[in-house]
Amino acid sequence: MTGGMDGHAEDRGRVYQASGDQHITEHHHHGDAAAAGGPDSVRRPAVGQPPVVLRDRAEVLERLIASQRAERGGEVYVLYGMGGCGKTAVAYTLFQRAEAEHGRVGLWVGASDRASLRAGMLAVAADRGAADAELLAARNGLRPAADLVWQYLDRSAEPWLLVLDNADHPEILRDGSWLRSSPRGTVVVTTRRSAARWWPGAELQHIGVLPREDAARVLCDLAPHSGTREQAAEIADRLGRLPLALTLAGGFLSHQVLDPWTMETYGNRLDGEERVELIDQGADALADGDPRHLVGLTWQLTLDAFEARGMSEATALLRLLARLAPEPLPLSLLNQDAIGAVLPRARCESALRALLDQSLTELVEVGVRCVQSHGVLLDSVAAATPADRSPALDSTAVRLLDAAVPALPDAGPHDPGLRLLVPHGPALLRRVADPATSAEALAVVTRLCVALHRTGDYLSAWETARTAAELGERRLGAEHRLVLAARSRAGRALFRLGRYTEAEETLVRVRSAQERLFGADDPDTLDSGHGLQLVLGNLGRPAEALALLRATVAGRRRVLGPEHPLTSRSRSSLLVLLPATDVLTEDDGTLLDLPADCARILGPDHTVTLGAHHNRAWALYQLGRFDAADEEIRLVTEAYRRRFGPDYPIALSAQQLLSRTRTARGDTAAGIELMTDVVARRERGLGSGHPFTVASRRLLEEFASGRWRPPHPPG
């Protein structure tokens, strides 16, 4: 690579930055750039049906409400307690009152996993005024996401209340420093983890089970005609006065129409049921008298009633949901033919309605309609599912997730819908025991990682791929083809995040194993090799990178054929790595014809075709063919701006090369105008001190001072 190279693209729009600030990023944006924010909504709590009356929380609420008065700020409150005790209900009620009574802007973020937390917090930044270019840079890993979010929270013109719900893994908040305080607002965290070391500087508030009288009132609120207050109190005692168990019991009692149950009947049936063991993940170990044990009794009575009424499909649907995560699940995922292996698709609507009526699940609106069930409930349902039912449930869940993930992920805009799928992939991998089904699940989750990667969400891609590989290894072994493919994908994402040393270590290790197990020409080995040559090039080892790239091109030609898109991707990379004179002789002198071949085979707007045009423009520029380079990069720049928006890194890279070709042709004024716009956009998106911004500003100064010189034609 030459020292003067900057901002040209290769391999689906990867952008090299040299002259002291080498880095590579990737374009991933189709269509309207303004739509990149997606449907993430932080103004609506991800809560289904709120409690009719919030019992026994007046004192806690009053103290929390007091923090919302007179524009106080800087407080962090942590609501902790066992799963099902009503922490989210308290936070929801505070959220509603803070908005209605005290003019606060309410912001609600699910914090159960890294991808959901990051997406939600970036949506908070967008709500508080962050520009698309800044959000895009944060998703691409080009600027610290948490710093961007808190910068805009601190600048907020309106006081706010930020709820971080279900933060049962506090280490997620610590990584990246997501949990901070601000004088402009109040932060409320709900969690099952109470250790003070996780919450320095926060005020901790325990949310426990309800007092007897209030627990009885909850049952009477939900099923007012089923019995007396004293009967309700007796049932509440037997359910440990846990709000989740009370809600499930009340939902059951309130929806018995043909043969309604009384509270007395319900209590008698509780005595006859065996305890269903469950694991409340993230909380302390269960004691024998822990009321969470009793959640299983409540839903089992409901499922027994379903079976008696000929509604076994409701039971099947709940067991299917229990294979996935207790996070919002798009309803569209359930509306697939594949669900027929567990219950008739035509009966899915009535089954879901039955679960909703009995409070076994709820509808939530997060920009798209989703269904969500409580984690304690799903864990207990999964634990009680008969072993002979699990294989069909597991394979069906895999097929449903498979249908929701793009079959051929391509470069495109940020897609919050993909983020909604992220927690369900690892959850499924944890549930599945059969190796063959585990392999199918791992393949789907790895493809989801590819889709995340190609929409620019590199952090989510890396985290999900790493987790999937670790879970897959438990069932399939460290050297299974799919486990290695997931680790290779994690290495590719590390590269995009600028973590080159880690990326090299990962890809070298994976590629060595793939070559030993499958051969040098195996498609997976070649894919890892293509990723590794990119890393080597950016680590300042162009000779190694070029040798590996040539081997990859040759291998892909042999295995995939000369016209395969992956072969063309690797050949396109040669336009970047080769010295200018070698471009004319490589591949029998046909390399400069690659864009025309791609357009003929793949179409003129294909991502590989555009990347090949971009890379040829750079090669022509290095060869001193400035007029041809200028015309080519002008068309590429226009295409990128149309498809990806003017602030996208690849569009700015192309525009920067266009400024060079214009200046090289003698139109310095046009070159300065183009570079001035690049600098302004990079300052807006990345900040004035980012290496990309610094390099662009330096080039602009060279143009303006007359010190810049174009490359000399070879020969």
Tens of pLDDT along 145-158? Answer: 999 999 999 999 99
Highest mean predicted confidence (pLDDT) among 231-235, 389-393, 691-695? 389-393
pLDDT digits (tens, 9 = 90+) for 481-540: 999 999 999 999 999 888 899 999 999 999 999 999 999 999 999 999 999 999 999 899
Fold of 387-587: 1.25.40
pLDDT class of 50 with cuts at 50, 70, 90: low
User: In a 10 Å sphere around its CB, with 0-12 CB exposed, 13-18 middle and 19+ buried, how is residue 59 labelled?
Assistant: exposed
Calculate the alpha carbon distances from 175 to 125, 154, 281, 416, 527 in Å: 18, 20, 20, 22, 30
- The class level of CATH for 37-206 reads alpha beta
What is the Cα–Cα distance from 376 to 384, expressed in whole angstroms? 12
At 509, give phi and psi (nearest 5°): -65, -45
Contact 191, 81 (CB under 8 A): no
Encoded amino acid at 492, one letter: R
Q: What's the pLDDT score for residue 21?
A: 28
Average pLDDT over residues 456-467: 92
Encoded amino acid at 545, one letter: A
Q: pLDDT exceeding 90 applies to what percent of the chain?
A: 56
Q: What's the pLDDT score for residue 430?
A: 95
What is the Cα–Cα distance from 137 to 407, expressed in whole angstroms? 27
List the chain domain ranges. Answer: 37-206, 212-310, 387-587
> Which of helix, strand or coil describes residue 146?
helix
Q: How many Å separate Cα 265 from the centre of its chain?
A: 46
Beta bridge partners of 15: 9, 25
CA atoms within 13 A on the CB side of 469: 21
Average pLDDT over residues 338-350: 94
pLDDT at 293 over 80: no
Average pLDDT over residues 51-69: 74
Number of helices (H), then strands (E), belonging to the chain: the values are: 32, 11
Report the predicted TM-score, pTM, of the whole model to 2 decimal places. Answer: 0.83
pLDDT digits (tens, 9 = 90+) for 102-129: 889 999 999 988 888 999 999 999 999 9
Beta carbons within 8 Å of 248's beta carbon, 6+ residues apart:
295, 298, 299, 302, 358, 359, 360, 377
pLDDT class of 572 with cuts at 50, 70, 90: very high
- B/e letters for 1-16, b = 16+ CB within 10 Å, e = fewer, are beeebbbbbbbbbbbb
Q: What's the pLDDT score for residue 272?
A: 55
pLDDT digits (tens, 9 = 90+) for 171-180: 999 887 999 9
pLDDT digits (tens, 9 = 90+) for 351-391: 999 888 888 888 988 888 999 988 878 888 888 899 999 99
- Strands 24-25 and 14-17, by their bridges, are antiparallel
